[in-house]
Structure 1
């Protein structure tokens, strides 16, 4: 039995150095956004900062420093905050889905309601250079403006704007679901099913899959790109079903 060789559990991995760009509320950090079906984890490897989150339970700020692991499930609007050279390794559930659109920025409601306007606001015209940085800053600032509206409403006890954002986000990604299903099936689901098959084999005294053990090594395929939360290093894992990329 041979099969692709993804990361454990078919997770995605990347390294992030949080943006130090100051936003309208005088906070340095990244672009607030939400994932619709993927849980995300921050493993803090250096510096100091925070992650601000919005959920139906309200607003929360979680301090980040080396040794901390913070993770949040789908629906958690999150904003990485830079305080002192914050660096994290990101682990992302369902590698391939975030790269296929499982992330929606907290743009203002009128932008979210127009798929074309949303796509234009979310796009980066270049991978590197001043054009890319300027576009990433504009995108971040637009996401912060919508985020601050959602946060204020939650702090005032009103969760309806957040729920409306969820509905708009779901409508935006609905046309992509047919593409997500095979990515999930061939990635995370296949990885879990292989474990089930191996458990069944071992229960029957069959250890044949151990003979096919493999060792792989990956180095970043791109360093310092502009991600949602910061400058990112990303990987493509040889032999994997899907690229393992950065946020």
Structure 2
């Protein structure tokens, strides 16, 4: 058993995020509220200050963020990054490959979430200049904020049932993608779990196992400017070049 091309540990995805400083309708600056349907997400704050506003089964909460803060949350947690000044994060996503394939659902108004075609149009960022893409990302953020504020009011009025309805809408939206996600997960996370199980079996037998194929890889940052993500400008890495 060898491992000549190791995956990034845990088969997670990693990105460097500069949180948007765009002011929203409530006077706070930051990104687009959303949730993940299958993946946990973690933040390691590398600079600046801010907060993440969350909604889960226990209601709404605000979690301050400063340099050195580490915070993570499970699927279904509605989260909104708020930038108080130069907030920058290292984002660690479970199930690398699923978040990039549509695991996230933005908190658009209920009428948009109920229509997959309308949701797809609202979530997409069309090609164009940096300025045009920035404008589109800001409009997307503002629409997600509209739904987010509606959600908070609905929870105040109707309690946890309003949050449960959001989760059901999100599940219906992503359902057509699950077969593809399962293939991605089997080839990455499940494969890494199987590799570790086999390595433990080898070690228990006094054998080197995967250690015999030890190697190192380097990730190069993606070329070009930072992408417009849901919460800010993203820098990602290409995990293909081997040292």
Please report the TM-score for the alignment, with normalisation by the length of structure 1: 0.93
Deviation of the 1:67 alpha carbon: 1.0
1:231: which partner in 2?
Answer: 233
CA distance in structure 2 between the aligned counterparts of 1:156 and 1:50, rounded to whole angstroms: 25
Provide closer, same or farther for how the CA distance between residues 238 and 40 of structure 1 changes in structure 2, counting only shifts above 3 A. Answer: same
On the 8 A contact 1:127/1:226 being kept in 2, the answer is no
Q: How many residues align?
A: 240
2:119: which partner in 1?
Answer: 118
CA distance in structure 2 between the aligned counterparts of 1:239 and 1:172, rounded to whole angstroms: 35
Deviation of the 1:239 alpha carbon: 6.6
CA distance in structure 1 between the aligned counterparts of 2:119 and 2:154, rounded to whole angstroms: 22
- Unmatched segments (≥5 aa) in structure 2: none
CA distance in structure 2 between the aligned counterparts of 1:127 and 1:47, rounded to whole angstroms: 30
Deviation of the 1:2 alpha carbon: 4.2
- Unmatched segments (≥5 aa) in structure 1: 241-247
On the 8 A contact 1:220/1:233 being kept in 2, the answer is yes
1:244: which partner in 2?
Answer: none
1:245: which partner in 2?
Answer: none
Alpha-carbon deviations, 1:125-158, whole Å to 9, x = none? 0265111111100100000110111123334561
SS of residue paired to 2:221:
coil
CA distance in structure 1 between the aligned counterparts of 2:213 and 2:2, rounded to whole angstroms: 8
CA distance in structure 1 between the aligned counterparts of 2:22 and 2:162, rounded to whole angstroms: 26
The structure 1 segments of at least 4 consecutive aligned residues displaced by more than 6 Å after TM superposition are: none
SS of residue paired to 1:191:
helix
CA distance in structure 1 between the aligned counterparts of 2:89 and 2:128, rounded to whole angstroms: 21
SS of residue paired to 1:216:
coil
1:189-204 superposed matches below 5 A: 189-204=190-205
